[in-house]
């Protein structure tokens, strides 16, 4: 059978990057709000995907949005059936014995409502769009479900004119990510009839900004042979801190204004691989429940990192295979099982600096005491997780090996 092609593009952007919050694992999920019911699955998926990326890029920066990827493929599952459906949901970390299809989609709907309805202190938006050729007639049920659960826009696109389609899709992504992700989409195959875009955009401000006058050039030790110079920000204040003796690392939590936070994890020299091998939901749970306010001197590089990945191979290694083959059953889209995913791309960008806005920087006044306090110097490769406090959702995740790497 000849299959027409569906592209999946996933764009994630976090712009620069202090609410105490405790992660909880509940055995009884019946009373949880819908978004918390899917949180363990999403977290598990995030770490599995990180392990795949880390194994394929052992010496490079990594940055991606697990939530952008999981929402896109969860939305895709609305049109899937048989083995294609079960593989998608299982690969995304959902056990259908514990969580029904309906509960999964209700969880994403509630998550979208929570993330897209934040106060003015944080700019966070997440959404999906389906660009379709006029030769594709989508079923009303799929269209209704995609809009209801995933706030999906359906946009007519002329794929017979590849340049026009490319320009339309790239313009949409550029607008939704505030001009930070451009030209992610290249000219489609001649068989392409549909492109699914999933985007997430975060612009957040430190609860207490770094004072830019304290930023000084400093060495960053990429490895034993490589040292680069970076602008190193400095903060001396009470922060949530934990020293994990088992995993030989230090954990610092920096909250944003609004309901989001960043975790920065600094392994001891030579311990990155040991830390990465252990990364899972239980470790995150331990860190979040072990953090304690403590006066520390924090040194954190001012940096930008990005990640651009073809994720088809990664997902296949995680058990999501049928959807990429002629065995794909995506009949819920059109009523015919003649659609498969041909390509899936993801791009994400992170910028971290002192304040976020000039107004915020102007309020950066901190008194500095004289007594001894721990110094945490992020001058070696480290990990970063950016998450939404209320829904326990990992929005972005990455590893910074070289802050100067382009």
pLDDT tens for each residue of 299-355 = 999 888 888 888 888 899 999 998 888 888 888 988 887 788 877 788 888 888 775
- pLDDT value of position 113: 87
Question: Would you state the pLDDT for residue 264?
Answer: 95
pLDDT in tens, 24-71: 554 555 567 898 999 999 999 999 999 999 999 989 999 888 998 899
pLDDT of 122 reads: 78
Concatenated DSSP letters of 275-307: HHHH-SHHHHHHHHHH-EEEEEEEEEE-EEEEE
Q: How far apart are CA 10 and CA 343, in angstroms?
A: 11
Going by C-beta distance under 8 Å and a sequence separation of 6 or more, which residues neighbour residue 6?
192, 193, 194, 195, 196, 330, 339, 340, 341, 342
| Spatial separation of the C-alpha atoms in residues 136 and 139, rounded to whole Å | 10
pLDDT of residue 19: 35
| Cα separation, 185 vs 158, whole angstroms | 15
Q: pTM for the full model?
A: 0.87
All structural domains of the chain with their residue ranges: 4-204+305-351, 212-301+357-400
Whole-angstrom distance, CA of residue 327 vs CA of residue 350: 37
Fold matches, 4-204+305-351 and 212-301+357-400:
no
**CATH code reported for the domain at 4-204+305-351:** 3.30.497.10
* Parallel/antiparallel/unpaired status of strands 303-310 and 216-221: unpaired
Q: Which CATH superfamily is domain 212-301+357-400 in?
A: Alpha-1-antitrypsin, domain 1 (2.30.39.10)
- Compute the distance between CA of residue 340 and CA of residue 3 in angstroms, rounded to an integer: 6
Distance of CA 27 to the CA centre of its chain: 26
pLDDT at site 11 = 54
Low-confidence ranges of the chain (pLDDT < 70): 1-31, 117-120, 187-190, 355-373, 406
């Amino acid at each position: 059978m000849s299959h027409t092609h569906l592209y999946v593009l996933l764009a994630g952007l976090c712009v620069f990057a202090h609410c105490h919050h405790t992660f909880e694992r509940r055995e009884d999920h019946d009373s949880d709000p819908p978004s918390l019911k899917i949180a363990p699955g999403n977290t598990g998926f995030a770490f599995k995907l990180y392990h795949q990326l880390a194994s394929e890029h052992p010496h490079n920066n990594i940055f991606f949005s697990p939530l952008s990827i999981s929402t896109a493929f969860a939305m895709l599952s609305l049109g899937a059936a048989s083995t294609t459906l079960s593989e998608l949901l299982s690969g995304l970390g959902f056990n259908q014995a514990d969580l029904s299809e309906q509960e999964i989609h209700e969880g994403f709907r509630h998550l979208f409502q929570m993330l897209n309805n934040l106060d003015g202190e944080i700019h966070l938006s997440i959404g999906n769009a389906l660009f379709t050729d006029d030769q594709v007639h989508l079923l009303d049920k799929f269209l209704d479900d995609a809009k209801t659960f995933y706030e999906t826009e359906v946009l007519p696109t002329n794929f017979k004119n590849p340049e026009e389609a490319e320009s339309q899709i790239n313009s949409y992504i550029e607008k939704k990510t505030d001009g930070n992700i451009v030209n992610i989409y290249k000219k489609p195959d001649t068989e392409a009839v549909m492109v699914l875009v999933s985007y997430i955009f975060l612009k957040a401000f430190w609860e207490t900004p770094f004072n830019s006058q304290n930023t000084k050039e400093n060495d960053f030790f990429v490895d034993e042979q490589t040292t680069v110079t970076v602008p190193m920000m400095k903060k001396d204040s009470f922060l949530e801190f934990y020293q994990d003796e088992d995993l030989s690392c230090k954990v610092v939590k920096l909250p944003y204004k609004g309901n989001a936070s960043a975790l920065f994890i600094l392994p001891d020299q030579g311990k990155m691989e040991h830390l990465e091998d252990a990364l899972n939901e239980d470790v995150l749970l331990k860190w979040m429940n072990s953090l304690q306010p403590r006066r520390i001197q924090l040194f954190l590089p001012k940096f930008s990192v990005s990640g651009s990945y073809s994720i088809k191979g990664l997902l296949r290694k995680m058990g999501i295979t049928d959807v990429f083959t002629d065995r794909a059953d995506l009949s819920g889209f059109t009523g015919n099982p003649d659609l498969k995913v041909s390509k899936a791309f993801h791009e994400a960008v992170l910028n971290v600096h002192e304040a976020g806005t000039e107004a915020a920087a102007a309020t950066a006044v901190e008194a500095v005491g004289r007594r001894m306090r721990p110094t945490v110097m992020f001058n070696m490769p480290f990990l970063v997780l950016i998450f939404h406090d209320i829904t326990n959702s990992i929005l972005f995740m990455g590893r910074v090996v070289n802050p100067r790497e382009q």
